[in-house]
Every structure is written in C-alpha cells, then in structure tokens.
Amino acid sequence: MRRFFVLVTLFVTLAAAGATNAGPAGRVNVLCSPNPAWCDAIRAEFPRATGIQLGFVRMSSGEALARMRAERGNPSFDVWFGGTGDPHMVAMEQGLTEAFKPGNWDELRPELREAVKGRYIPLYAGILGWAENKKLFREKNLPEPRTWTDMADPKHRGLLAMPNPNTSGTGYTMIATVVQIYGEDKGFALLKQIHRNMAQYTRSGADPGLLTGRGEVAAGVTFIHDAVDQILKGFPISYRAASDGTGYEIGGLSLVRGTPNRSQAIAFLEWSLTPEAQKLAAERGQSYQIPSNKNTPIPRVAPRFEDFKVIKYDFIKYGSADVRDRLVKRWTTEVFPLPK
C-alpha cells in the first residue's frame, strides 16, 4: 500500500511539473497586413519569446477592414498588425477595435503618437512614392515623372500601375495625398488624367513595384520601403517621391474589441513594440520602414523623411470613416470606369 501511495505522489508531482512546463499559454490570432515575410517572422519569434502560439491571416489594409466589418460582434482575430493607419482609425471609430495604451507607450516616437491622437498604436512610418524602371523610360525616350502632374502626361499612357484603393491602403494614401495637395475637385480631375495612363490596378500596395521590376510598366505607385525591398532582391528599379509633395503612412497596431483572448492579445501588443521585435521587420521581414519605438535602430536602407517633400498629412480627417468611404466611392464611380 505504501508503494502505491509513493507512486501516486510521484505521478502527481510529475504531472504538475509537466503542466508548468507544458509550453504554449494559449494562442493569439493576428490579422497581418505588412510584407508576408514579416508576418512569418512574428509567427516564429513571438511563441519563442512568450510561450503563446500565434496564427495569422495576411490581408492588405482595405481587405482587412472589410473583414473586420463583416465580423462585427464575432471577431476571429485578436489583433490587427500593420497596414496603413486610415483603416485602423475607421475600425476604432466604428467600434471594431478599442483604445489601448501599452506599457511602453512613452518609448514610441512622439511625432507618430501625436499624429494619430491615440486612435491606434503606431507601429512604423513609411513614405509614399513610386518605383521606376529607368531602362524602360530610356527605351521609349520619355522623361521620368517627377511630380503627380507628370504622372498625368499622356506620353505615359499604358506605362503606370497603382494599387486599387478598395483593397489597398497604399492606393487610398495616394488619393488622400493628391486631394490634400490640390484640393478635392482639382485632385480628382488629376486622378482622372492619371487613370488614363494606368496599365493595371493591383490588389496589394507592393505589387506595382514588382510590375515595374519585371518591365511590365515604367513606374508603379508604392511605398518607398517596398521598392527598397525589391531593389535588394535584384529588381532593376529605383525609387522617387513626388517633388510637389507626398504623403506617408503610420502603420497601425490595434486591439480587436471583444476578443476572447484578450490577455494573449495584450502580450502580443506589448511584445510588438519592443526593439527586439521591431528589428525583425528589416532583419527577417524584408520591411524597411521607420520603426515606432525610438530605441529601435532605423534600418540603414530605410527611406528618411528629411530626404523628401513630405506633406503634413491629416490622419484624423482622412482616417475618418465618412471621408475615407466617400473618397473611395468617388474614385470607384468617377475614375475607375473611365476609358483609357
């Protein structure tokens, strides 16, 4: 009998030890909008750092917002990671995400915190521009566009690409940028002229650079850090931003309202903002933005704001649901159907 109790005690002790060291303490589900390689990197490293498993679905910003809206009240994600800030602001305004101030909030760059007014957590910043295939411009004996109005030159017909703002935050950033520089009506008149030169609208913000690198178009509107990634991969392109002014993004990080995995989601938010986590973007994520934590080293190849004419982008106005939805609808009905 005594031997029986010893075995039972040993079994219970081992079982308790096994439970203590049993690995993952739950799971977090992430709606991931940056470069897929960055999503893969966080999936690998977050469990190693915390013991919490991570699953993600990759979607561009516009698609991610549509998914969030469709899942209102019954979300399948706990955190929205990355993507342009305007859909994060819309999600907050419409109650799809909730305000959350992480413990390392004061480590984030104050200019980014101030720009978004606490509507979401800044994760990075990136400058809008375009990729260029100089060889193709030379072959066609055409000047490279230097301004948004140059993009409208009929000489560039069939030589441009940009992301569709219905699916891509990059595409919307371009519309909002042109409108802020020229005013809404003049801006849309310019967008109609630029449309006539478009060979293709893409679903993703990085794809116009790929088309440029393959020689399918001569210039593709994209965030410059995406063009940097493509240059490092060997594509024969360079990059430029409009000399008459360009916009920028503050990539977002948001806590989904009503998540059943709230503690795991908060653990992920806190981890995502550490220098150790943010360095993954450049080291393994093929992403070269300005990281939001001021203690995170800026990648050597990251485009710097001081090198371009960056406008004072109004994130609050152009991130509101009414303005964003109206501008995207206006582009979809007034610009996209026009003949080329």
Measure the CA dihedral 180/181/184/185, to 10°: 180
Cα 287 to Cα 279: distance, rounded to the nearest angstrom? 10
pLDDT value at position 10?
A: 36
Q: Which two tokens stand for residue 144?
A: 């490279």
pLDDT value at position 57?
A: 97
Cα 120 to Cα 306: distance, rounded to the nearest angstrom? 25
pLDDT value at position 13?
A: 36
26-125+248-302 and 127-247+323-335 agree in CATH topology = yes
Q: Answer yes or no: are the C-beta atoms of 40 and 34 closer than 8 Å.
A: no
Query: What is the reported pTM?
Result: 0.90
pLDDT value at position 260?
A: 87
Query: CATH says 127-247+323-335 is which class?
Result: alpha beta
* Number of C-beta neighbours around residue 164 at 10 A: 22
How would you write the pLDDT of the chain (340 residues) with one tens digit per residue?
433 333 333 333 333 333 333 334 899 999 999 999 999 999 999 999 999 999 999 999 999 999 999 999 999 999 999 999 999 999 999 999 999 999 999 999 999 999 999 899 999 999 999 999 999 999 999 999 999 999 999 999 999 999 999 999 999 999 999 999 999 999 999 999 999 999 999 999 999 999 999 999 999 999 999 999 999 999 999 999 999 999 999 999 999 999 989 999 999 999 999 999 999 999 999 999 999 999 999 999 999 999 999 999 999 999 999 999 999 999 999 999 999 9
Q: Answer yes or no: are the C-beta atoms of 194 and 334 closer than 8 Å.
A: no
Strands 27-32 and 53-58: parallel
pLDDT value at position 11?
A: 35
* Per-domain boundaries in the chain: 26-125+248-302, 127-247+323-335
pLDDT value at position 17?
A: 37
Cα 171 to Cα 293: distance, rounded to the nearest angstrom? 26
Tell me which CATH code domain 26-125+248-302 carries.
3.40.190.10
| Cα angle value 224/309/295 (rounded, 5°) | 60
